[in-house]
Chain A
């Protein structure tokens, strides 16, 4: 009857909490339900935030209409810099979209307990980030109303897309990734939706929840199937984490542009993506745990663990930067060498050094445990890293194109107000979705949290298994 989970009884979930990720402050399962579901109660802060997000989203939408009417000339493009803010922001959001699946899938397979309290938010973030990223290629092209020509479908012209083009690979990679991560998010939600269903009084919402929960009854059999399904999905989406951003990096690596034509790009992009993804998780989770008083769920131990991942990826990305310089020198190609010189000490020094500061130098602070356990610092750092990662893509796209083989066509680039409006719009769009999610569904995984509560809580609940601990039906 009770929809609450007792791992000792089911014994299906292998996710045994190690001491450093347990939640000492939790008294019983009921408290878990109460506190986590508490996030669904709308607050003034929430309405304000949603309002701002929607406003930004509308600005972006209006600008898009304006741009479609007049043409892309309204953006800051300065040939031969034919790609600009849109592609930069596209790659930025795709990168953000990586942490989610990494945390929920790979860390799940690695049995990393600290993922438990953050993976739900991370997965939601992934889905919405990819939804945001997916818009930019369409915004970026000259005739967006012809976008469907990139899809292979039978048509009167008997034409197919050019399957050799990395942009077509992108279409497949992004759409696959969106599908899988959405499914993954939904499957993970099923037991929690069941909890909501049981606590819901409004008949319509109850109906919706009961459909979404697919009739979850918390039976042994269901848990067995659920655990299997979750495991398979995790295994299925793990390669995607690596493939998607590798494919995105091919957009550059497959071209012969100086600064793009590099074999190191796929691993370098994946590391960067995880790096930026974790930063965005901080940007989101640290305010949430503060506003909804969830510090005793998302504990400092958890943050500490994530900080270690960030530190590692930061070091990986940093070494990738340095290797790029070495290869440029080693290649002996003047165009390549001049590009890197120009990017570091010439025209674009400011962008390059912003990037190095935010992504290489500041994260080194995480060697200090005090800072790793300081939420405020982690939040600030996460903002810096987000900026740094945006500039990483800026430094890849703009300086390369503005300083190519043909000296006669060397140029510069300044974004226009239209570009800025689209960046603002993308953040509005992303946060709008996330805020709506937070309001409708538990941003922490109730069922999994219950697995890492201290043993005493479990013992108590297993004794009083039939007590109406969580309400029920």
Chain B
């Protein structure tokens, strides 16, 4: 396969040099042509590299400012998977979807192949020499360089210092460091209250968590460490904190709350003051349209809670005020030092310039005083509201230079593009924690003819004389620069790089005076007041404010809350929808003073009746094939209102009108029915029920035997003893055939039963497991506009997500989101997330119906799907009660089809250990059988048996909630075997006698004190 013709200017030759004997990609099945393959040996065999065996390099994630630690799996010179670094203090091995999708940023087919120079309207490719020369000459001509502007995507670590050194050496002012994803008001308030940009939050120490619009599981702060802590807190079950969410829209964080107090956008401050006891609760509730009784109860609860945690992360014009109030409340409740830990502060956000600085820059550019502007990483033209006029200001600058390697909205306006390496191709450091330095190293040779910006700056040097010789790949000028400055010198540097992080100097936050609780009046709504609704715009948990949009994994991944993909939407409350006669998918036009946007409606229980909510991140006009013209950008409807203190864009509380446009869009949804219809798929207990269970005083609810009705039986864990089923004794007689036809054959084998437990108390529905599965198992994305089907012999369905509208997404593991209660659209409701994947039944309905033996029961308990044997009758899927089998409707793995999911060089990411499925075959979760085999090979080479928990599967590895545990349930020394007999354990559709290998642990709810218990 390595002879595949190198399209698109990939550095094929240098790639072949590092490529071992195995191919670029596992071939599509069925095509066993007799074409002569080539075997390409190394030219010089690199040290510690074995062809066909992965190397693992530690580096740092740069997908958001938090800078988690990464382990990059490198096979034959290609990065094929990103995982969290278990030794990293920040993310402890976990990694979110955005971080994992960094890989598709590296291999993005729309990256610039090399430097580009503007000629007329077009950017044309040029050599690096030519480009740097151009830069020098233009800089020398530019004059007044003290007015030059360098806008940099915020990052902690050493690059900012290097950058400012260089700017200074060329007589330019320090750079502006921005990050549209960071909630600046919270940072500002943190600085005032705790003296740090972001204190560590310890959810486990709290008994009550109150979040006022702070979406700490979506995008607020450093999500992964916060999610780790939150999940640990929830895992304390009866001792776990109760979580109350206050806000106008229930985000993913909000859906994980035990209680939701809805309030109008912009009134959070009043609620906060009510909590602080500075305002009568009734008055605040009245003004905020919140439920007074709930609020009253919460105030009381907060007083008596002991240790609590109050968070605020709003996007209104008074966001900083709200955040200050929250900080003040924490101080007065004595939470600082227990649940809010400035001492273990997160330093990732230190040095952020913030929106006001960008505004100033914009004004200077408009005034025409700026001779040259540099942009690196950031995409301000897209992330600022058009009304702010940044784009025009930017265009007015005579010389615009971009270091971005993607054709984003800002870069396409530039005159010169000097594409930077991807983070995985370049050196660097990060400072995620005060006492920890994150090391960043190139884990593979550059895919394209790009250069590390740091190297470019160092080569340009202060003189700007003709560019120094280009740093050959590997020996980077920036690396030497780092080594010289690294405490402990080169050796320490190398040591740090190998572990991915080093101990930095610990800083203790100085004690701060308590904030005087703000008495400011609640913000008035933004914009013309005749609008009936509030527009609430929020950053997408997957795409952020837009940087994720060019990665098919993130576009394809259903939004954790709305379960929509590949499109933008307007969330509207059922009663409001009823009043306006709006159905799901009806296109709604949102009109504000600034402008209007149109998007299909999504009827959502979790939004205030007088609020409509829209996600950011889509609606790109550039940024590559996967982002361009997909969805709309709600920023066009936002007036230039800003937070008074920080100048951060005010996303919420804009008055708007909502009209039906008349036309209708199909929602690109993965959701069937959001109600369980008593099928007992997502089961839950209240704390009271759990305590009763633990005391053995729980009475068997009547009708527990009726099929389909959830069972709250007090029996421990497994009603179908997995271990006994290890060799399929409980399975139908086909299992007795042990895969092939010889019942005696397996007697000598180790008796294993690969199994999994999923703790629904921990699962937050973040969907990181889904992305991990896509990355590990070569799952194709099917939603791109050109991947649809023909609507006639000559026309194609080119709607984004057309295949997903047809229900053809390939998510081997999917997160189901079921609602409980709230049917009358008024009251509060509960949300249960259930990761649903192949249950690897001991008695699998799919097995006996396959006419060609393509699916069968393996002796180690796996339910195996043999792609190359499958003829595609799809009978197995019909007979699967869990509906976890996915079919290749098109040739997603065949490069010569328009539906091809891995355009060069995205196919470099493909996992060589997993077959790429061809069209017409069924596929499904394999429990990462390739990882099982790899571990078995390793063990047998070392002549030993597998060690307990020696390895795990991709979804379990990535999970930032640690909800998934995988292992051998037949061996009690594996932790899964112990988890599986938990009192909360149950099987889905147990009444069908499928004897599944996936054991779910019931979610534990914490109803408000005195609230009616909801079964």
Chain B associates with chain A: yes
Which A residues form the contact surface with B (CB < 8 A)?
66, 70-74, 77-80, 82-83, 137, 140-143, 146-147, 149-150, 159-162, 164-168, 171, 251, 254-257, 332-335, 338, 401, 404-411, 416-418
List B residues 908-948 near A (Cβ within 8 Å).
919-922
Closest chain A CB from B868 CB (angstroms)? 10
Q: With an 8 A cutoff between CB atoms, is B895 at the interface?
A: no
Question: What A residues does B899 contact at CB under 8 A?
Answer: 71, 73
Closest chain B CB from A360 CB (angstroms)? 27
Q: Once the chains are docked, how many angstroms separate the CA of A149 from the CA of B851?
A: 9
Q: Once the chains are docked, how many angstroms separate the CA of A405 from the CA of B707?
A: 11
Q: Once the chains are docked, how many angstroms separate the CA of A404 from the CA of B564?
A: 22
List 30 A-B residue pairs with CB atoms under 8 Å apart, sorted by A's residue number: A71-B888, A73-B890, A73-B899, A74-B789, A77-B889, A79-B887, A83-B878, A142-B871, A142-B919, A142-B921, A143-B870, A143-B920, A146-B852, A150-B852, A162-B849, A165-B848, A165-B849, A167-B849, A251-B875, A255-B879, A334-B677, A338-B677, A405-B989, A406-B882, A406-B883, A407-B672, A408-B674, A408-B816, A409-B883, A417-B793
The residue in chain B whose Cβ has the minimal distance to the Cβ of A76 is B806
B707 touches A167 (CB 8 A): no
Q: Once the chains are docked, how many angstroms separate the CA of A3 from the CA of B989?
A: 70
Q: Once the chains are docked, how many angstroms separate the CA of A79 from the CA of B872?
A: 14
Question: What B residues does A149 contact at CB under 8 A?
Answer: 851-852, 869, 871
Question: What B residues does A143 contact at CB under 8 A?
Answer: 30, 870-872, 920-921
| Contact code string B872-892 (vs A, CB < 8 Å = 1, else 0) | 111101110111001111110
If A77-B889, A142-B919, A255-B845 touch, whether A161 touches B878 (CB-CB below 8 Å) is no
A162 touches B848 (CB 8 A): yes
A160 touches B808 (CB 8 A): no
Across the A-B interface, give the 10 residue pairs with the lowest CB-CB distance, nearest first. Answer: A142-B872, A142-B920, A73-B889, A410-B672, A82-B874, A407-B673, A167-B851, A71-B919, A409-B883, A165-B851
Closest chain B CB from A77 CB (angstroms)? 7
A66 touches B793 (CB 8 A): yes
B881 touches A404 (CB 8 A): yes
List B residues 638-682 near A (Cβ within 8 Å).
671-679, 681
If A142-B888, A334-B708 touch, whether A150 touches B871 (CB-CB below 8 Å) is yes
Closest chain A CB from B759 CB (angstroms)? 20
Q: Once the chains are docked, how many angstroms separate the CA of A404 from the CA of B882?
A: 9
B879 touches A256 (CB 8 A): yes
Q: Which of A77, A160, A333 contacts B853 (CB 8 A)?
A: A160
Q: Which of A140, A406, A417 contacts B873 (CB 8 A)?
A: A140
Q: With an 8 A cutoff between CB atoms, is B713 at the interface?
A: no
Q: With an 8 A cutoff between CB atoms, is B746 at the interface?
A: no
List B residues 833-884 near A (Cβ within 8 Å).
836, 845, 848-853, 869-875, 877-879, 881-883
The residue in chain B whose Cβ has the minimal distance to the Cβ of A80 is B883
B807 touches A411 (CB 8 A): yes
If A142-B887, A333-B707, A407-B675 touch, whether A165 touches B807 (CB-CB below 8 Å) is no
Question: What A residues does B816 contact at CB under 8 A?
Answer: 408
A72 touches B882 (CB 8 A): no
Q: Once the chains are docked, how many angstroms separate the CA of A335 from the CA of B677?
A: 9
Interface centre among A160, A165, A251, A410 (most CB of B within 10 A): A165
If A255-B878, A407-B679 touch, whether A417 touches B920 (CB-CB below 8 Å) is no
Question: What B residues does A408 contact at CB under 8 A?
Answer: 671-674, 681, 814, 816, 818, 836, 883
Question: What A residues does B883 contact at CB under 8 A?
Answer: 79-80, 404-406, 408-409
Q: With an 8 A cutoff between CB atoms, is B972 at the interface?
A: no
List B residues 790-844 near A (Cβ within 8 Å).
790-793, 803, 806-808, 814, 816, 818, 836
A334 touches B851 (CB 8 A): no
Question: What B residues does A171 contact at CB under 8 A?
Answer: 851
List B residues 952-994 near A (Cβ within 8 Å).
989, 992
Q: With an 8 A cutoff between CB atoms, is B734 at the interface?
A: yes
Question: What B residues does A416 contact at CB under 8 A?
Answer: 789, 791
For chain B, which range describes its interface: under 10, 10 to 19, 20 to 34, or 35 or more residues? 35 or more
The residue in chain A whose Cβ has the minimal distance to the Cβ of B672 is A410
If A79-B886, A141-B872, A143-B30 touch, whether A407 touches B845 (CB-CB below 8 Å) is no
A165 touches B850 (CB 8 A): yes
Interface centre among A142, A256, A335 (most CB of B within 10 A): A142
The residue in chain B whose Cβ has the minimal distance to the Cβ of A82 is B874
A71 touches B853 (CB 8 A): no
- Apart from A73-B789, A406-B882, A410-B672, list 17 A-B contacts with CB within 8 A: A70-B790, A70-B891, A71-B890, A73-B808, A73-B890, A73-B919, A79-B808, A82-B874, A140-B873, A142-B870, A160-B853, A162-B848, A165-B875, A334-B677, A405-B989, A407-B818, A417-B792
Closest chain A CB from B541 CB (angstroms)? 20
Q: With an 8 A cutoff between CB atoms, is B43 at the interface?
A: no
Interface centre among A150, A171, A404, A406 (most CB of B within 10 A): A406
Question: What B residues does A417 contact at CB under 8 A?
Answer: 790-793
If A74-B789, A406-B681 touch, whether A255 touches B890 (CB-CB below 8 Å) is no
If A73-B808, A141-B871 touch, whether A164 touches B848 (CB-CB below 8 Å) is yes
If A73-B889, A78-B807 touch, whether A256 touches B792 (CB-CB below 8 Å) is no
Q: With an 8 A cutoff between CB atoms, is B706 at the interface?
A: yes
B871 touches A410 (CB 8 A): no
Closest chain B CB from A63 CB (angstroms)? 9
Q: Once the chains are docked, how many angstroms separate the CA of A407 from the CA of B675?
A: 7
A80 touches B871 (CB 8 A): no
Q: Which of B675, B679, B790 contacts A74 (CB 8 A)?
A: B790
Closest chain B CB from A401 CB (angstroms)? 6
Closest chain A CB from B356 CB (angstroms)? 45
B877 touches A79 (CB 8 A): yes
Closest chain A CB from B211 CB (angstroms)? 27
Interface centre among A146, A401, A407 (most CB of B within 10 A): A407
Q: Which of A140, A256, A410 contacts B881 (CB 8 A)?
A: A256
Q: Which of B679, B870, B874 contacts A335 (CB 8 A)?
A: B679
If A77-B889, A407-B673, A410-B672 touch, whether A83 touches B921 (CB-CB below 8 Å) is no
Closest chain A CB from B968 CB (angstroms)? 28
Question: What B residues does A409 contact at CB under 8 A?
Answer: 672, 807, 883
A142 touches B849 (CB 8 A): no
Q: Once the chains are docked, how many angstroms separate the CA of A411 from the CA of B670?
A: 10
Q: Once the chains are docked, how many angstroms separate the CA of A417 from the CA of B806?
A: 15
Question: What B residues does A332 contact at CB under 8 A?
Answer: 706-707
If A82-B874, A142-B921, A406-B681 touch, whether A73 touches B853 (CB-CB below 8 Å) is no
Q: Once the chains are docked, how many angstroms separate the CA of A141 from the CA of B851?
A: 11
Question: What A residues does B681 contact at CB under 8 A?
Answer: 406-408
A411 touches B878 (CB 8 A): no
The residue in chain B whose Cβ has the minimal distance to the Cβ of A68 is B920
Closest chain A CB from B28 CB (angstroms)? 12
Question: What A residues does B791 contact at CB under 8 A?
Answer: 416-417
Q: Once the chains are docked, how many angstroms separate the CA of A97 from the CA of B890?
A: 33
Question: What B residues does A335 contact at CB under 8 A?
Answer: 679, 708
Q: Once the chains are docked, how many angstroms separate the CA of A146 from the CA of B899?
A: 23
Q: Once the chains are docked, how many angstroms separate the CA of A410 from the CA of B675?
A: 11
If A78-B806, A334-B707, A407-B672 touch, whether A256 touches B872 (CB-CB below 8 Å) is no
Question: What A residues does B891 contact at CB under 8 A?
Answer: 70-71
A161 touches B852 (CB 8 A): yes
Question: What B residues does A159 contact at CB under 8 A?
Answer: 853, 869
A333 touches B708 (CB 8 A): yes
Q: Once the chains are docked, how many angstroms separate the CA of A72 from the CA of B922?
A: 12
Q: Once the chains are docked, how many angstroms separate the CA of A335 from the CA of B992?
A: 12
The residue in chain B whose Cβ has the minimal distance to the Cβ of A157 is B869
Question: What B residues does A407 contact at CB under 8 A?
Answer: 672-677, 679, 681, 818
Q: Once the chains are docked, how many angstroms separate the CA of A142 from the CA of B741?
A: 26
Question: What B residues does A257 contact at CB under 8 A?
Answer: 878-879
Q: Once the chains are docked, how many angstroms separate the CA of A424 from the CA of B819?
A: 44
Q: Once the chains are docked, how many angstroms separate the CA of A343 from the CA of B818?
A: 24
Q: Once the chains are docked, how many angstroms separate the CA of A168 from the CA of B853?
A: 11
Interface centre among B673, B677, B807, B899 (most CB of A within 10 A): B807
If A142-B872, A256-B845 touch, whether A411 touches B853 (CB-CB below 8 Å) is no
